[in-house]
Structure 1
Amino acid sequence: MRFFEATHKYPFDWETVSLASFRKYPNDKTPHVQHVEVLNQEIDPETGVLKTERLIMVKQNAPRLMMKLLGGSDSSYVLEYSEVDPRDKTLTMHSTNLTFSNLLTVGEKIVYKPDPEDTKNSTLFAQSAKLSADGVLSRFSSYIEETCLKRFHDNALVGKLGLEQVLHKILAEKRQERGGAGNMAA
């Protein structure tokens, strides 16, 4: 079993970062994410919590030996559950792999929340993951876990770059809206 953790502080307000998280795909920084399908979405009328279930199709370059032995394709699927709590200002996302889950399970949790030191201008990001190849013969499980952990780490880095790209796009849209509204009033 392997564990991954990462934290980051985005110099953007929580609302903008949360919006960017849902608009993250597709983008050129994360070409491995091929498609995102919203399966279910509902708002709790009492709490205002938005719950979303998405299916994410990812193209991964799995080791050739593994693909030959298991007979899979280069596309894999991830199921993601998210909750946006507008009162507590938290976005929590849980995801797990569906493809080859009998051989390798990857459980990921991401939380976005305002930075307590600067709630209006900064958002904290916390990511954790557990990778386990328990279903594989023990002599191969360590190799598979290490290979997948490295790939997870690399994907996390490009995912951060992808989110930052979307954040800047949203900021540009906001500036354009303010500029457009100001021009209309003049």
Structure 2
Amino acid sequence: MKFFETKHYFESSWEAVTLACWRKYPNDKTPHVKHVEILSREVDSETGILKTERLIMVSQKMPRILQRIFGADDCTYALEYSEVDPKQKTMVLKSVNLTFQNLMVISEKIDYRLNPTNLNQTQFTQSATLNAEGLMSRFASLVEEHSLKVFINNAKVGMLGFEQVLEKILSEQKAQATL
């Protein structure tokens, strides 16, 4: 089992950051994310929490040996569940791969929240576990190592894409404020 965690502070309002999260795809930094489909969306009438379920289609090259062994193609799917609490200023996204779950489970959690020590910042925390438990231990370790490298790279380019979208939103907000 492999673990990943990173934290980042955006020098932007929680509202702008969470809007950027919804508008993140497509962007030119993450071309591997091909499609995002909203499966369900509802607002809890008692709490005001927005709950959304999305299907994410990703196209990423797999090692040839895995393609040969498992007859895999490059298209994979993940299910994402999110909750946005506008009162507490939190947004939590949890995702898990649907493709190849019998070989490896990749669980990711992303948390956006107002920084309690600096209300002009939004705290971003991303964590993931990668578990190839069903495979022979040495092979599982190799698959986990490769998958972790891919995940870390995707997290880096994902952050670049996110920041690009956030900058666009901030520019739009600045332009609207001058009207």
- TM-score normalised over the length of structure 2: 0.98
Q: How does 1:146-161 map to 2 (within 5 A)?
A: 146-161=145-160
Amino acid at match of 1:122: Q
Find the aligned partners of 2:50 and 2:149 in 1 and give their Cα distance: 32
Look up the SS of the partner of 1:152 in the other structure: helix
Q: Over aligned residue pairs, what C-alpha RMSD do you find?
A: 0.7
Find the aligned partners of 2:124 and 2:173 in 1 and give their Cα distance: 22
The Cα of 1:178 is off from its aligned counterpart by 2.0
Find the aligned partners of 1:69 and 1:91 in 2 and give their Cα distance: 39
Larger radius of gyration: 1
Structure 1: segments with no counterpart, 5+ residues:
182-186
Amino acid at match of 2:41: Q
Structure 2 residue aligned with 1:7: 7
Structure 2 residue aligned with 1:59: 59
Look up the SS of the partner of 1:30 in the other structure: coil
Q: How does 1:33-182 map to 2 (within 5 A)?
A: 33-119=33-119, 121-179=120-178, 181=179
The Cα of 1:33 is off from its aligned counterpart by 0.2
The Cα of 1:138 is off from its aligned counterpart by 1.6
Find the aligned partners of 1:114 and 1:22 in 2 and give their Cα distance: 17
Find the aligned partners of 1:175 and 1:108 in 2 and give their Cα distance: 33
The Cα of 1:63 is off from its aligned counterpart by 0.5
Look up the SS of the partner of 1:134 in the other structure: coil
Q: How many residues align?
A: 179
Structure 2 residue aligned with 1:27: 27
- Divergent runs of 4+, >6 A: none
Q: 1:75-122 CA deviation, whole Å, 9 max, x = no partner?
A: 000000000001111000000000001101000001000111211x21
Amino acid at match of 1:39: L
Structure 2 residue aligned with 1:184: none
- TM-score normalised over the length of structure 1: 0.94
Find the aligned partners of 1:48 and 1:143 in 2 and give their Cα distance: 44
